[in-house]
Chain A
C-alpha cells in the first residue's frame, strides 16, 4: 500500500474522533494528535484499535507511546505493512 493511501485511511479513521471545533481543518501530516487535534490519550486508544482493525496490524504499548503526529501513525502502519 502506498504511503499516501495509508495517510488517507488514517485520516478517515481519525476524523470521527475529533470533537474540538475546527480540529478537522488542522489535519495535516505534521499535526500533533493530542496538542493540535485535541484527541485525548484515552480517545487515542479507540483510534489505535480502529487502526488495528482497518489495517490488520497490532500496535504495542511502546509503539503507542511514540505516536505524536499523524505522520508518526502513517510511518508506524507503513512499516508494519512492509
Chain B
C-alpha cells in the first residue's frame, strides 16, 4: 500500500496550532464576512458540492482563483465550503501563499497569517526562496492538503484575467505533483470593476468554476509556463461566461 506523504516538518507545528485554534477564529471570520461586511456569494452550492466530492476523491487539489482584492483567498474559501466543513476536514481549508510585503511585514501580521495556514512569499524575490516555498506547497498538496494560489501572481491591474501574465509558479506546482487537479474559481462582486483592497460592504458575488488536470509535453521552464497558461485560459473562459459583456 502506498503511504501518504506527510506535511513538511517546517509546517507541522503551524498546522497543529491552526487546527487547535480554528474553532475560535474560523466561525468568527465567517460571521465577520457574512454579517460584519455583509458579503454574500450567490450560486455557490454547485461549487460546494463539487468541492465536497473532490475532497472525497482524495486527489491533490490546487485551487486557482482570479485575484481582485486582498481578501480573495478568504472569500474563495467561504465559497468552497462553510466553516463547519473546515472544522471537520481541516486539510480542506486552503493553504495560501500571500505576498510577504502586504501580509507579513509586521510581527502581528506574521503571527496572524501563520495562524491562517499561510506561507508568505516575496513576489519577484530570490529564486531560491520562491523555489523553497513552492516545494513546501507541493509537499502540502501531496500530503492531501488543499492549497490556493493566484495564477496571475498579483491582483489584476486591468480588473480582468491577464491571460498573458508571464507567471509560472502554478505550472511548476502542478507539474511537480503527480495527479494534481486544479479547481479554477472565478469570483466577482457585482459592483467590482477594478482591483482594490476590499470589496464594498454588502457586496454580492457570483461564482463560476471548472476542474482541470493540466498536461504538457514540454520540459522544464516551458512546461511550467504551458501548464500555468492552461489555468489562466480556463479562468478567462470562466470570466467570459460570467461577464459576457466584458
Contact = CB atoms under 8 A, between A and B. Distances in A.
A42 to B, nearest CB: 5
Contacts of B172: 61
Contact of A65 (B131, B153, B225): B131
State the majority secondary structure of interface residues on A: helix
B128 A45 contact: no
A61 to B, nearest CB: 5
B124 A65 contact: no
Interface stretch (B29-37, B193-201, B214-222): B214-222
A45 B220 contact: no
Contact of B167 (A42, A52, A61): A42
A64 B222 contact: no
Nearest to B154: A42
Interface residues of B, number: 21
A61 B131 CA distance: 8
A45 B224 CA distance: 10
A34 B125 CA distance: 8
B220 A41 contact: no
A41 B222 contact: no
A58 B220 contact: yes
Interface in A24-64: 34, 40-46, 48-49, 52, 58-64
Interface centre among A34, A42, A52, A60 (most CB of B within 10 A): A42
B187 to A, nearest CB: 24
B128 A66 contact: yes
B168 A45 contact: yes
A57 B72 CA distance: 39
A64 B225 contact: no
Nearest to A46: B166
Contacts of B130: 41, 65
A58 B219 contact: yes
B222 A49 contact: yes
B126 A45 contact: no
B219 A41 contact: no
Contacts of A43: 166
A60 to B, nearest CB: 5
What 4 A-B pairs come out closest when comparing CB atoms?
A65-B131, A40-B124, A65-B127, A58-B220
Given A41-B127, A49-B225, 5 more contacts: A34-B124, A41-B130, A45-B166, A64-B127, A68-B126
28 contacts: A34-B127, A40-B124, A41-B123, A41-B125, A41-B127, A41-B130, A42-B124, A43-B166, A44-B127, A45-B166, A45-B168, A45-B221, A45-B225, A52-B222, A58-B222, A59-B220, A59-B221, A60-B221, A61-B131, A61-B172, A61-B224, A64-B127, A64-B221, A65-B127, A65-B128, A65-B130, A68-B126, A68-B127
